[in-house]
Structure 1
Amino acid sequence: LSLSLSSLVSLSSPHSLSPSSHPSLSLPPCPSFATIPISQLALSLISMRFPSQLLLNFIITTSLVHSWWMLEDLDGSMGRLDPSTCSRLPGLSRRQRDLCIRHSRVMGVVVKGVQESLSQCEETFRGEVWNCTSSARSSMGMPAKVASKETAYIYALTSAGVTQSIAKACAKGEMEECSCGPLPSSPSRSFLWSGCSDNVKFGNTFTRKFIDGEEKNKGDARSLMNLHNNRVGRRLLNSAMEKSCKCHGVSGSCVTKTCWKVVPKMSDFSATLKKKFHNAMQVSAARVGAGIQLQTTNSPSNGRSGRYLRTEQEDVSRVARHALVYLDASPDMCAKSEEMSGRECGEKCREMCCGRGWRTIRRVVDEHCHCVFHWCCEVRCQTCSVIRERNYCK
């Protein structure tokens, strides 16, 4: 692979390296290499310890808008992130890289949080035209440049998901940086506050430092939008914490009950956040002094809402502080037929298939049936052959 300085300047595609679109790039005649997503190439170079810092700098400046999203592709299964990976991961700010190196175990949990959040996003929107695998997430797996409400949802969910993952790991004693979270001080007659609460406070603090830090240095409208939605996700997670209790006594009696605070399951939280997705507010950027702030599209820039959002009416302000916000209209999810083709559509084929029709596949499957409980303690079932239908977009 031969690259000159003029080649690096001329390359601007955020998605792939293509010799047809960039004549100044000298590539071997290998059609499969020409369309490798840059994030995949970057991670490959990292794993090979590729020596060309110039090429890595090119990747950073031309494509990785929010490069911490590349954490999704890393392996955090060992419970920690190798500090050397932090040093080689392109695009991290100095502060992010320092946090990554100094807190390798926390970063392993961050990787897990990012991965679980995006997987849960796909599960929550399964059966929808947008299912969190396209449009708002580009071919690099990172949020697209379109600042739509889909992107707003992903940012809020991921910010909360990373916080949740860290909070749970603290309570389990998996990291030396934190331990149990604080217990409420309000007394109760029916139970005692005791046990080990999930440490959402530490989770919030670390997530804010790592995820929000780079956005705060930019000050553009998209960064303000991202910051607002990150805060909405974490704020909603904090307010959704639940009480978990355990009874103490002879033979399971509840002579004494102790309770502590836990973060909600990601599936429950994602469903709650989905309601905010449907009620997201469109905003625009307004010049305020030497900087800019966001304001609702139907109001002048009077008053405030949250830290990054301005609005005219106080009642709207209270709503906006907890609402997802976006700058751009959602892209046409039906524009690319290949993204819909082959998707299972269940009973929503008319909406999901974008008017292109669908095909139904019938299969004979064996299932348990006529199950009977026999004392004690066994359930006996027969096997029945049934016809099941599954619908797929054309």
Structure 2
Amino acid sequence: MERKRCEQCQRILVSIIWGLTLFSVVDGTWMYLGISAVGSSVTTQEDPDSSCTEVPGLVSPQIEVCRKNPESLLCISEGARLGITECQYQFRNERWNCTTNTNYTVFGDVLRKGTRETAFIYAILSAGVVHATTKSCSAGNLTDCSCDMSHYGEHDVEGWKWGGCSDNIQYGLWFSKTFVDAPEVMTHESGRNIRNTMNLHNNEAGRIVAERLMSLKCRCHGVSGSCAVKTCWRSLPIFRDIGDALKDKYELSVPIARRSKRRPRRKGKTKRRQPIKTDDLIYVHKSPNYCRPNEKKGILGTVGRLCNKTSLGSDSCDLLCCGRGYNTQIVTYVSRCHCKFVWCCHVQCKTCQTMIEKHTCK
């Protein structure tokens, strides 16, 4: 009897451990598509279901989206790649420079805390999926959508008419919300927590910023270059514009109270009455110390990072090196210079040497 009880306890313990492991895998792992080759050949496979299940941690609604439209896996992969690349650009001079790894966790343990950095990651990747999906619609790469033709041929009071191929932002927004929000929606069904509220809000903030930056582009038609007729369409901005806007939101991100499970509220009794805008980035926890390496949390520290001695910004040696000081190295760069064309027919150059100071954090 005791032996059976022991075996039963072991089975229960194993199932609990497996459940916790599965939960940690599910948390944000669709982002893995941004650094992997999964899905790159999905459209050529006879059984696209196999590619949809190759990604570790996809929840059932995400797998269903993938199965219904296998080409969408390419959009998700491209959107995640856009978001990760833009994150690394925007934080290239910060103490945390959006470090990623090559396994399914992508950002390591950074996402386990609801910090400002986590808020930016969720927003930029959500916007990335919007951008990639919308562009794929315009390019005709998805069977479920095409250009936005809802106003095609209509005339505006200012004398121009709708034409061209407007980017179908509405489909991109719907697709991003359906896929990216799926893990949070499942958590909501079993009981929403503060991280769930935070993630859903920041996902939506990324989508809102992407939509608001849509612009009107026009082309003139007429005799001798005149603009007698003007055809206009709506177009997405380059993704760098979205990244810049979200980085500004990151700098002004709002701390929220941990008890605000259904609707986010500002932290502090005196600030709770101030409404949180839908495009604000919100966070729960203070950021850790990114100055010192912490392998367990996926923090590399700033030792050896290049810094700018004359800068007053985040890339300055004072801020980036966290007060530890920096090393200075004189580097000689050799390059071709004073080039001129010699008849006939070659280019003649001199060799120039440039001495440059290189500063790295201690």
Alignment counterpart, residue 72 of structure 1, candidates 19, 31, 34: 34
Alignment counterpart, residue 340 of structure 1, candidates 294, 302, 305: 302
Q: CA–CA distance in 2 between the matches of 1:186 and 1:281?
A: 42
Equivalent residue, structure 2, for 1:15: none
Q: CA–CA distance in 1 between the matches of 2:173 and 2:341?
A: 49
CA contact (8 A) 1:286 1:293 kept: no
Q: Does residue 1:207 correspond to 2:163, yes or no?
A: no
The 5-angstrom pairing of residues 129-140 of structure 1 reads 129-133=95-99, 140=106
Q: 1:43-102: per-residue Cα shift (whole Å, max 9, x none)?
A: xxxxxxxxxxxx8x7742454323322223332444759431212433322211111111
Alignment counterpart, residue 73 of structure 2, candidates 94, 107, 117: 107
CA distance change for structure 1 residues 355 and 183 in 2, over 3 Å: closer, same or farther? farther
Q: 1:247-272: per-residue Cα shift (whole Å, max 9, x none)?
A: 44567655543221111111121111
Counterpart AA for 1:245? C
Alignment counterpart, residue 277 of structure 1, candidates 250, 256, 275: 250
Q: CA–CA distance in 2 between the matches of 1:145 and 1:238?
A: 28
Q: CA–CA distance in 2 between the matches of 1:98 and 1:83?
A: 9
Equivalent residue, structure 1, for 2:89: 123
Equivalent residue, structure 2, for 1:295: 265
Q: Does residue 1:324 correspond to 2:281, yes or no?
A: yes
The 5-angstrom pairing of residues 256-267 of structure 1 reads 256-267=229-240
Q: Does residue 1:91 correspond to 2:57, yes or no?
A: yes
Equivalent residue, structure 1, for 2:142: 175
Q: 1:210-241: per-residue Cα shift (whole Å, max 9, x none)?
A: 11122023211101100001111101110111
Unmatched segments (≥5 aa) in structure 2: 1-9, 295-299, 310-315
Q: CA–CA distance in 1 between the matches of 2:277 and 2:138?
A: 32
Equivalent residue, structure 2, for 1:365: 333
CA contact (8 A) 2:292 2:302 kept: no
Equivalent residue, structure 2, for 1:154: 121
CA contact (8 A) 2:204 2:278 kept: no
The 5-angstrom pairing of residues 189-204 of structure 1 reads 189=158, 191-204=160-173
Unmatched segments (≥5 aa) in structure 1: 12-54, 301-310
Name the TM-score, length of structure 2 as normaliser. 0.79
Q: CA–CA distance in 1 between the matches of 2:16 and 2:183?
A: 26
Q: Does residue 1:353 correspond to 2:353, yes or no?
A: no
Counterpart AA for 2:317? C
CA distance change for structure 1 residues 88 and 5 in 2, over 3 Å: closer, same or farther? farther
Name the TM-score, length of structure 1 as normaliser. 0.73
Counterpart AA for 1:246? R
CA contact (8 A) 2:166 2:235 kept: yes
Alignment counterpart, residue 205 of structure 2, candidates 232, 246, 261: 232
Equivalent residue, structure 1, for 2:358: 390
Question: Tell me, what secondary structure is at the counterpart of 1:285?
Answer: coil
Task: Quote how far apart the aligned CAs of 1:134 are.
Answer: 6.4
Give me the CA root mean square deviation: 3.3
Q: 1:90-124: per-residue Cα shift (whole Å, max 9, x none)?
A: 33222111111111111211111101111111011
Counterpart AA for 2:31? W
CA distance change for structure 1 residues 83 and 187 in 2, over 3 Å: closer, same or farther? same
CA contact (8 A) 2:126 2:207 kept: yes
Choose between structure 1 and 2 for higher RCO, CA contacts under 8 A separated by at least 6 residues.
Answer: 2
Q: CA–CA distance in 2 between the matches of 1:120 and 1:230?
A: 16
CA distance change for structure 1 residues 240 and 358 in 2, over 3 Å: closer, same or farther? same
Report the identity percentage: 31
CA contact (8 A) 1:72 1:114 kept: yes
CA contact (8 A) 2:27 2:183 kept: no
Q: CA–CA distance in 1 between the matches of 2:29 and 2:124?
A: 17
CA distance change for structure 1 residues 193 and 381 in 2, over 3 Å: closer, same or farther? farther
Q: CA–CA distance in 2 between the matches of 1:360 and 1:259?
A: 54
Equivalent residue, structure 1, for 2:5: none
Q: CA–CA distance in 2 between the matches of 1:370 and 1:192?
A: 52
Task: Quote how far apart the aligned CAs of 1:321 are.
Answer: 2.3
Q: 1:155-192: per-residue Cα shift (whole Å, max 9, x none)?
A: 01110111011011111111111100256667153643
